């Protein structure tokens, strides 16, 4: 039987066994799976908060929860989803698993630091969970001063410490990736032969390493302010609350690119594999990742257009924010150009890639709306902004994460997921997502402010549509969880390269052996060279 | 150059994910440099806050700065510089595989680091006695806006406190290195930990080189 044969061959899953072999593993692939389990739990938790928010907003009167509870719900939704799901999602799960394999390495440069990163995320998560169970936090995920430092009577410090600790997880992951890309590439794997997924992760790692420490020190200052009342952000002593906003967004705007750049890397892999063509303008796409990372550090001030920032600063930040659209658009155009005359197959990962390109384009273009000084004054703190960043975070990052998970699932587990169900759920997620968030653009433009749990009656129909969409989205997310679990036992056994993909990770067995490759490969061709890929693609759909 | 996936014996100098010892040392050193860049950004947030308030409240900052004890600050700067020198000698000794010399210089570095922290503790204690610690009982003579002077001391404590925390970590690293050196772990072939701990120690030293003039010497270069 084929199944038996698969189970007998030694791979990273059966090389050692027992709980200890997982909790003390130094194997980047197992650590990737530890992250997968952890962030799936946080995704579920953040989803519960989102559900409560959407149910509350069904009615204009706000009957389900009090306004205090509502403040805690949207805060904890944001904190959980951003710091404990989205930021670790693609880099820590897929990046951890595949970055070393894609460059032909046996592991990351620092496997023990990699394991430490996971523990830091778990410890940070426990702090945040404790805060949530003990009574929650109500400052918004942005922790704006002086509310967070002086007035809020909720668990600000525990939550902030959780984010502080989880931040070091992100920093160390970035550090590990940079060193790995510099020092661990296989013979012949030059910089311009690396898959674009690796380039995207390299750019992401730069942001993690340069941005996250600033958030960390900001949290230290908030901590000192709240505990010792040192006055750094307290106007009573001459301190400036807006300084907090500058420091916070210096990290938190680039953090958006920590979430979206790896997603772009995934989409590059998907688009190439499923149109069997190299990515059009490979070098330009590679550099556009780095350009986004660099420019992303120069736009934080667009979060402060209405915070009393000088008009001239506003103009510069507005201009620079428009500038970021260029490398982003380059990617979208180049993916589209890659499709031209490609042999396109509509496998599930490709459906997610298409979903990403469309939704990211909408999210990106509405980003230009809010980067414009005049329009931003009108839509600041409205649902327009909420819809905009959910198109990037959910429509972009989560779409790509799910697409990547489907794409690499056969490699991770050695099994194929059921294609029919997968296509259905991709469709359900796409429809549910748009039904949830498109009405929010209209709501915001009409003047519905964010973070309010009551609203005028005239907004109800759009809120009901949004809540209905959220229910569809929840079903869409539940289906993959079920069939992924199902496929672990009953899925068709996948060969080494079920998609006929070109990356090094497909040139080893599925699941891979503990050291990734039986022999370290020698790279002799450019990335996405399909001329050497033997036609072993399985029939899909 | 294709090599086998399984490196049979894993040693400290060659972990299984690397092909050569040179590659491993290179990776470790690069890792430490990147970590130090993250540290620059970490301290950078506080330097940014310092710059904003020093510019906004330059008079109060000059008076508050003058109340610090420059002599003690200068002595501590010298102590730290000497500790960096002994650290360099320790790194050199480890490269030459001289175990006893290595231990000697590591211990000396540890002692100088300890002296720095002791002097720092004395200075902080002095601030408590003089009511220069931010809080309800804060008072500094000669400043009309007490809040602005308080901000200077908030930054003083935050910045020197963060620096001292890094010194404590450095002292911990040194103790560990001394123990490893005592056990004879380091040889002329394998001494990367001494090397990268040295980088860290120098970095913490350099942070102080910036802190000293910014905190202690503000009024020295102002027109009288």
Q: What is the pLDDT of residues A245-271, one digit of tens each?
A: 999 999 999 999 999 999 999 999 999
The answer to whether B154 contacts chain A (CB < 8 Å) is yes
Residues 6 or more apart in contact with residue A367 via CB below 8 angstroms:
A321, A325, A388, A392
- How many Cβ pairs within 8 Å bridge chains A and B? 137
Give the N- to C-terminal CA distance of chain B in Å, as an integer.
69
In DSSP notation, B128-173 reads HHTT-SSSTT---TT-S-HHHHHHHHHHHHHHHHHHHHHHHHHHHH
A479 touches A424 (CB < 8 A): yes
Query: CB distance from B1 to chain A under 8 Å?
Result: yes
Three-state SS sequence of A362-418: HHHHHHHHHHCHHHHHHHCCEHHHHHHHHHHHHHHHHHHHHHHHHHHHHHHHCECCC
Residues A414/A493, Cβ–Cβ less than 8 Å: yes
Q: Kindly report the three-state secondary structure assignment for every residue of A233-247.
A: CCHHHCCCHHHHHHH
* Closest-CA residue to A174 (of A119, A125, A213): A213
Residues in contact with A30: Cβ distance below 8 Å, sequence separation at least 6, in sequence order: A12, A22
Whole-number pLDDT of residue A237: 86
Q: What is the pLDDT of residues A393-418, one digit of tens each?
A: 999 999 999 999 999 999 999 999 99
Residue numbers of chain A with a pLDDT score lower than 70? 1-8, 534-541
R_g (Cα) of chain A, nearest Å: 23
From the list A178, A127, A183, A122, the residue with the least C-alpha distance to A156 is A127
Spell out which residues of chain A touch residue B145, defining contact as CB-CB under 8 Å: 238
Answer whether B154 sits within 8 Å of A238, measured CB to CB.
Answer: no
CA distance A174 to A165: 15
pLDDT in the model for residue A536? 52
If DSSP codes are grouped into helix, strand and coil, which group holds residue B3?
coil
Residues in A 76-115 with any Cβ partner in B closer than 8 A: 105-111, 113
User: How many angstroms separate the first and last alpha carbons of chain A?
Assistant: 24
Interface membership of A236 toward B (CB under 8 Å): yes
At residue B124, the 3 state secondary structure works out as helix
* Pick among B2, B30, B31, B192 to test the A interface (most A CBs inside 10 A): B31
- Which residue in the set B26, B37, B45 is minimally distant from A247, CB to CB? B45
Q: Residue A293 and residue A204: Cα distance in Å, rounded? A: 7
**Cα B30 → chain centroid:** 19
Q: Along the 224 residues of chain B, how does pLDDT read in single tens digits?
A: 344 444 456 788 888 899 999 999 999 999 999 999 999 999 999 999 999 999 999 999 999 999 999 999 999 999 999 999 999 999 999 999 999 999 999 999 999 999 999 999 999 999 999 999 998 889 999 888 899 999 999 999 999 999 999 999 999 999 999 999 999 999 999 999 999 999 999 999 999 999 999 999 987 766 55
CA A458 to chain centre: 34
A206-217 tens-digit pLDDT: 999 999 999 999
Q: Answer whether B134 touches A (CB < 8 Å).
A: yes
Report the 10 Å Cβ neighbour count for A452.
Answer: 15
Domains of chain B, by residue range, sit at: 23-221
Helices (H) and strands (E) in chain A, counts: 18, 0
Angstroms from B121 CA to nearest CA on chain A: 18
- The token duo for A152 is 């809020």
Note the residue count of chain B: 224
The whole-number pLDDT of residue A539 equals 45
State how far residue B104 is from chain A, nearest Cα, in angstroms: 30
With an 8 Å Cβ cutoff, is B27 touching chain A? yes
Q: How far is B140 from chain A (nearest CA, A)?
A: 14
Taking the C-alpha atoms of residue A291 and residue A347, their distance in angstroms, rounded to an integer, is 31
Which class would CATH give B23-221? Answer: mainly alpha
Dump pLDDT digits (tens) for A21-66: 999 999 999 999 999 999 999 999 999 999 999 999 999 998 899 9
Cα B215 to Cα A427, B70, B127, B210, distances in angstroms: 61, 10, 14, 9
User: What average pLDDT is seen over chain A?
Assistant: 94
- H-type alpha helices, chain B: 21-56, 58-66, 70-95, 99-129, 146-183, 192-216
Closest residue to B41, CB basis, from A210, A519, A521: A210
- Cβ(A259)–Cβ(A86) below 8 Å: yes
Cα of A393 to nearest chain B Cα, Å: 26
Cα-to-chain-centroid distance, residue B114? 12
Full set of structural domains in chain A with CATH: 29-532 (1.20.210.10)
Q: With CB atoms and an 8 Å threshold, state whether B3 touches A520.
A: yes
């Amino acid at each position: 039987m084929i199944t038996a044969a698969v189970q007998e061959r030694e791979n990273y899953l059966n090389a050692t066994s027992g709980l200890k072999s997982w909790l003390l593993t130094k194997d980047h692939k197992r650590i990737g799976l530890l992250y997968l389990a952890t962030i799936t739990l946080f995704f579920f938790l953040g989803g519960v908060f989102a559900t409560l928010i959407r149910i509350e907003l069904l009615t204009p009167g706000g009957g389900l929860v009090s306004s205090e509870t509502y403040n805690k719900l949207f805060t904890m939704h944001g904190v959980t989803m951003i710091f404990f799901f989205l930021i670790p999602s693609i880099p820590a799960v897929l990046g951890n698993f595949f970055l070393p394999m894609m460059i032909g390495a046996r592991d990351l440069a620092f496997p023990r630091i990699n394991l430490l990163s996971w523990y830091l995320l778990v410890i940070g998560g426990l702090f945040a969970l404790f805060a949530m169970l003990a009574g929650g936090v109500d400052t918004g995920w942005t922790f704006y001063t002086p509310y967070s430092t002086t007035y809020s009577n909720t668990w600000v410090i525990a939550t902030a410490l959780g984010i502080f600790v989880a931040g070091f997880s992100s920093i160390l992951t970035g550090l590990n990736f940079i060193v790995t890309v510099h020092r661990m590439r296989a013979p012949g794997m030059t910089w311009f032969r690396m898959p674009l997924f690796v380039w995207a992760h390299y750019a992401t790692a730069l942001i993690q390493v340069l941005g996250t420490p600033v958030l960390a020190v900001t949290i230290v200052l908030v901590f000192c302010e709240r505990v010792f009342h040192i006055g750094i952000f307290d106007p009573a002593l001459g301190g400036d609350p807006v300084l907090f906003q500058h420091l916070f967004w210096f990290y938190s705007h680039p953090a958006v690119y920590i979430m979206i750049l790896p997603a772009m890397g995934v989409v590059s892999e998907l688009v190439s594999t499923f149109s069997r063509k190299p990515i059009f303008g490979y070098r330009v796409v590679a550099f556009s990742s780095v350009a986004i990372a660099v420019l992303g550090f120069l736009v934080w001030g667009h979060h402060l257009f209405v915070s009393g920032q000088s008009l001239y600063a506003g103009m510069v930040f507005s201009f620079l924010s428009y500038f970021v659209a260029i490398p982003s658009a380059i990617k979208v155009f180049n993916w589209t150009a890659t499709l031209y005359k490609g042999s396109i197959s509509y496998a599930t990962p490709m459906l997610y890639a298409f979903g990403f390109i469309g939704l990211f384009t909408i999210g990106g273009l509405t980003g230009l709306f809010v980067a414009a000084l005049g329009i931003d004054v009108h839509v600041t703190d409205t649902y327009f902004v909420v819809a905009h960043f959910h198109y990037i975070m959910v429509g972009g990052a989560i779409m790509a994460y799910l697409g990547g998970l489907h794409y690499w699932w056969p490699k991770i587990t050695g099994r194929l997921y059921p294609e029919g169900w997968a296509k259905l759920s991709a469709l359900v997620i796409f429809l549910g997502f748009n039904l949830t968030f498109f009405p929010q653009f209209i709501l915001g433009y009409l003047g519905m402010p964010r973070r309010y749990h009551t609203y005028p009656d005239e907004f109800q129909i759009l809120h009901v549509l949004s809540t209905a969409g959220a229910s569809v989205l929840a079903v869409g997310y539940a289906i993959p969880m079920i069939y992924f679990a199902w496929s672990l036992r009953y899925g068709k056994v996948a060969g080494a390269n079920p998609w006929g993909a070109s990356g090094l990770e497909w040139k080893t067995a599925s699941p891979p052996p503990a050291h990734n490759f039986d022999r370290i490969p020698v790279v002799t061709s450019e990335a996405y060279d399909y001329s050497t890929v033997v036609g072993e693609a399985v029939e899909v759909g | 150059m294709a090599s086998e996936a399984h490196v049979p014996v894993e040693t400290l100098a060659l972990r299984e994910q690397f092909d050569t010892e040179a590659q491993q040392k290179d990776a470790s050193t690069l890792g430490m440099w990147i970590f130090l860049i993250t540290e620059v950004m970490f301290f950078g947030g506080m330097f940014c806050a310092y710059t904003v308030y020093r510019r906004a409240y330059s008079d109060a900052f000059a008076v508050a700065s003058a109340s610090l004890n420059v002599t003690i600050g200068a002595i501590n700067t010298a102590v730290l510089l000497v500790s960096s020198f002994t650290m360099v000698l320790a790194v050199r000794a480890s490269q030459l595989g001289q175990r006893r010399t290595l231990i000697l210089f590591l211990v000396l570095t540890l002692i100088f680091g300890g002296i720095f922290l002791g002097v720092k503790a004395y200075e902080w204690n002095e601030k408590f006695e003089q009511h220069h610690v931010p809080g309800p009982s804060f008072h500094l003579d000669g400043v009309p806006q007490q809040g602005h002077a308080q901000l200077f001391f908030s930054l003083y404590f935050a910045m020197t406190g963060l620096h001292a925390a890094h010194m404590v970590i450095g002292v911990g690293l040194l103790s560990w290195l001394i123990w490893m050196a005592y056990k004879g772990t380091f040889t002329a072939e394998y001494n990367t930990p001494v090397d990268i701990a040295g980088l860290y120690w120098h970095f913490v030293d350099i942070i102080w080189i910036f802190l000293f003039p910014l905190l202690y010497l503000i009024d020295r270069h102002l027109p009288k």
